């Protein structure tokens, strides 16, 4: 396992974090406990959850695991949770308002059985709450000792920059991480979000680094996702995600190159895909959502895997987004780039005839 700074903070975390979304709902408690123990034994130290995972079941399970283990083990763990989405039927049981976040934070602290949450993340943007209200609450929670660090998740570029600029201008606690979907099959955040994060030294936490299992290599283009897979389940969102993934020629081409590289270096497809995203610029850790011990054991070797320059270039090229529309196409790039010898800028940027 490798270790990196948690964004612009003094804390070090493993480059593979363990996502616990299905713990207590999909993964039985005994197996979840065994997975956590094995992950920590392998050198991992960051457990990621949220107040809405399993309706609170994930946080509760982590609390029971923590209570059942010795303090010298649990004290090594970086606990990360999130709040923003609905936790009940009332109109105010959602969002990033001071009222909702206060109640959500206290509930998460109680479930986890901790005095402070190491990384408390906004699970998404709230268009109804002024950013000043949200940021002042988070700052007060840090000062009160209930939160150690603040993180964001699922933000667009302008939303991220607004939060950062406002916090800086008001002298409030600055977020240190950004948790976003990022993988060989999902690179759109490279347009705006990653540059904004890098500019402010935020550590990127990539969720769904294996594209919900698509990048494990277990699917083939000729076969539909089975009913026993996430894409073939009754979950409407997962079916929609699967439809987008399976209909992309670029994704299938990327998967084929990943298979080739895996064969060349004696690794699995998932290990290749995980290594690629975990070693992208600005990425602090990839969040592996192991629902079974077998999945954890499959993914762990990726923590110490470094793809060679040739393999990385092949994956970069085959998975690259190729937008034509302004402002991300050729014409848009011409408006943003500048060279010292800028007289030949247009010739550098235009694609070959």
Q: Among 39, 53, 120, 219, which one carries the catalytic annotation?
A: 53
* Distance (Å, whole) CA 335 – CA 54: 46
Q: Give catalytic status of residue 53 as yes or no.
A: yes
Three-class DSSP labels, the chain:
CCEEECCCCCCEEECEEEECCCECCCECHHHHHHHHHHHHHCCCCEEECCCCHHHHHHHHHHHHHHHHCCHHHHCCCEEEEEECCCCCCCCCCCCCCHHHHHHHHHHHHHHHCCCCEEEEEECCCCCCCCHHHHHHHHHHHHHCCCEEEEEEECCCHHHHHHHHHHHHHHCCCCCCEEEEECECCECHHHCCHHHHHHHCCCEEEEECCCHHHHHHCCCCCCCCCCCCCCCCCCCHHHHHHHHHHHCCHHHHHHHHHHHHHHHHHCCCHHHHHHHHHHCCCCEEEEEECCCCHHHHHHHHHHHHCCCCHHHHHHHHHHHCCCCCCCCCCHHHHHHHCCCCCHHHHHHHHCCCC
Q: Are 230 and 212 in contact (CB under 8 A)?
A: yes
Known catalytic residues are 53
């Amino acid at each position: 396992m490798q270790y990196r700074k948690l964004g612009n903070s003094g804390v070090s975390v493993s480059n593979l974090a363990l996502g616990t979304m299905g713990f207590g709902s999909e993964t039985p408690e005994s197996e979840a406990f065994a997975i956590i123990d094995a992950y920590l034994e392998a050198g991992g130290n960051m457990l990621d959850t949220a107040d809405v995972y399993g309706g609170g079941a994930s946080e509760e399970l982590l609390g029971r695991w923590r209570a059942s283990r010795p303090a010298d083990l649990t004290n090594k763990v970086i606990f990360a949770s999130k709040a923003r989405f609905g936790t009940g039927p009332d109109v105010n049981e959602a969002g990033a308002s001071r009222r909702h976040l206060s109640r959500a934070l206290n509930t998460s602290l109680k479930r986890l059985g901790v005095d402070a949450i190491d990384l408390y993340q906004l699970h998404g943007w709230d268009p109804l709450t002024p950013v000043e209200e949200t940021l002042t609450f988070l700052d007060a929670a840090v000062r009160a000792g209930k939160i150690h660090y603040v993180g964001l998740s699922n933000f667009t570029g302008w939303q991220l920059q607004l939060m950062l600029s406002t916090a800086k201008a008001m002298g409030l606690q600055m977020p240190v991480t950004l948790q976003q979907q990022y993988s060989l099959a999902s690179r759109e955040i490279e347009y705006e979000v990653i540059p904004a994060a890098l500019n402010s030294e935020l550590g990127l936490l990539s969720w769904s680094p294996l594209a919900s299992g698509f990048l494990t290599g277990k699917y083939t283009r000729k076969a539909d996702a089975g009913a026993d897979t996430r894409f073939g389940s009754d979950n409407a969102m997962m079916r929609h995600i699967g439809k987008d993934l399976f209909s992309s020629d670029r994704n299938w081409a990327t998967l084929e190159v990943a298979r080739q590289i895996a064969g060349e270096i004696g690794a699995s497809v998932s290990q290749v895909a995980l290594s690629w995203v975990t070693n992208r610029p600005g990425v602090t850790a990839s969040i592996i959502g192991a629902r079974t011990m077998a999945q954890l054991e499959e993914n762990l070797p990726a923590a110490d895997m470094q793809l060679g320059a040739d393999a990385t270039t092949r994956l970069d090229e085959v998975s690259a987004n190729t937008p034509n529309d302004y402002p991300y196409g050729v014409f848009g790039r011409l408006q943003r780039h500048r060279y010292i010898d800028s007289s030949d800028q247009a010739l550098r940027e235009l694609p070959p005839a």
